[in-house]
Copies of this chain bind each other. A is one copy, B any other.
Amino acid sequence: MPQHRYLLTEDRIPARWYNIAADLPTPMPPPLAPDGGPLQPDMMTPIFPMELILQEVSQERFIPIPDPVREMYALWRPTPLYRALNWERALGTDCRIFYKYEGVSPAGSHKPNTSVPQAYYNAQAGVKRLSTETGAGQWGSSLAMACQLYGLECKVYMVRVSYDAKPYRRLMMETWGGQCVASPSQETNAGRAILAEHPDSPGSLGIAISEAVEDAATREDTNYALGSVLNHVLLHQTVVGQEAVEQLRMAGAEPDVVIGCVGGGSNFAGISFPFLAEKFAGKDIQVIAAEPAACPSLTRGHYGYDFGDTAGMTPLLPMHTLGHSFVPPAIHSGGLRYHGMAPLVSHLVHTGLVEARAYSQVECFTEAVGFARAEGIIPAPEPSHAIRAVVEEVQRAKEEGKAKTILFNLCGHGNFDMAAYESHLTGQMVDLELPQDELDRAAAELSSMPAVG
């Protein structure tokens, strides 16, 4: 019987996170203080616990995962690796396609991989409450769950367009005891300022980050938690790729191509960093980051310093960015609507180690439906970009007469995104254009920012 799934037992949950910073062929530029000066670790202490600040700047190759975190991981990890046998047949390809499936977590995505350790370290540090932003709600629900597991309060600022389109994600947060408000909100200076200028603002991750950071910075009992972008967040996600390395070994396979979708960069980092370690060691592996054409920071953005949020409260990060005041069109992939990109992922693209591609949402949903009809699992809109990239690679392999081994990260299920599928199945989905004037305006702001290197 051909094997569909490669499972690991609980004792194979990775014992350490892989820190790619230790292995980069060229070092990454440092973040800067908001005023452009050097960033001191203690500027972060009002909103992050020390353990996470140390992870953010660590140069150690491996960081041990605390036993209590591994025990919580065991609620859903190790996750399965699938061979997409049915989909391969449907595509008529000789390529072998594998996918790591992170939708088995209670929140339905990869996000609990970092919400659990973040809540753990904050609880250990005596923090009582966490604030955060969320786009489509995957991150907010994951943090609400983790806070509940460790007895913390949780406040989530949810991007308005997703708050309206995805009420069930909000209810998920509330079921887990979290509090959720639409962003921009009237609860912060940052939110009120945006609403004063744009009462109908659909919101953006950049705006919601400003609100959540302000909440944490102005309350003694509260820290901030970020669901992507930062080094320590990407670090936590490397459990995904580490397990996949071991599972592919079980399958007797080595990947020629590794693919993940990118918004802030965390699920992509999770699947790809452990394979990039093998690439650094000489293996021939192509690594592809798939982003939405409606928010193309890697393929059409500027590489330089920019704020992580819209209000300019965060440090300046060296990254691909569309400008921190850019508000992306309201595509269904709420989790990919971010103006910037993780500095580590940006650096890897900038130095040519990772290739970036952009896809529009209609072509992505077309392939996602094909995947669902073959494999059963209905993908979230975000990983439909990875699925689109897989199909492109399958077509290229056919043209080249090659039979490649392709791995991608199916970072979440689409159970809360069925309205998007309705839009697609009824032919109402459109490819949202980038508003060029808005893009130009946001990009113009970047000219006053420090350059990289």
Are A175's CB and B7's CB within 8 A?
A: no
Contact residues in B for A302 (Cβ distance below 8 Å): none
Within 8 A of B (CB), among A339-384: 369, 372-378
Asked whether A176 is an interface residue with its Cβ less than 8 Å from the other chain, the reply is yes
Q: In whole angstroms, how far apart are the Cα atoms of A376 and B145 in the complex?
A: 6
Are B74's CB and A149's CB within 8 A?
A: no
Are B67's CB and A1's CB within 8 A?
A: yes
Residues of A within 8 A of B (CB): 1-5, 7, 9-11, 67, 70-71, 74-76, 86, 104-108, 112, 145, 148-149, 167-168, 171-172, 174-177, 369, 372-378, 415-416, 418-419, 421-422, 425
Give the number of times this chain occurs in the complex, counting copies: 2
CB nearest to A373 among chain B residues: B148
- Separation in Å of the A73 CB from the closest CB of chain B? 9
Q: In whole angstroms, how far apart are the Cα atoms of A369 and B173 in the complex?
A: 12
Partner of A378, one of B86, B175, B375: B175
Q: In whole angstroms, how far apart are the Cα atoms of A378 and B378 in the complex?
A: 19
Are A373's CB and B108's CB within 8 A?
A: no
Q: In whole angstroms, how far apart are the Cα atoms of A167 and B426 in the complex?
A: 14
Partner of A74, one of B5, B71, B74, B171: B5
Are A372's CB and B175's CB within 8 A?
A: yes
Are A171's CB and B2's CB within 8 A?
A: no
Given contacts A7-B9, A415-B168, contact A1 B74 (CB under 8 A): yes
Contact residues in B for A374 (Cβ distance below 8 Å): 149
Are B377's CB and A106's CB within 8 A?
A: yes
Are A415's CB and B148's CB within 8 A?
A: no
Q: In whole angstroms, how far apart are the Cα atoms of A87 and B176 in the complex?
A: 14
Are A172's CB and B75's CB within 8 A?
A: no
- Separation in Å of the A376 CB from the closest CB of chain B? 3
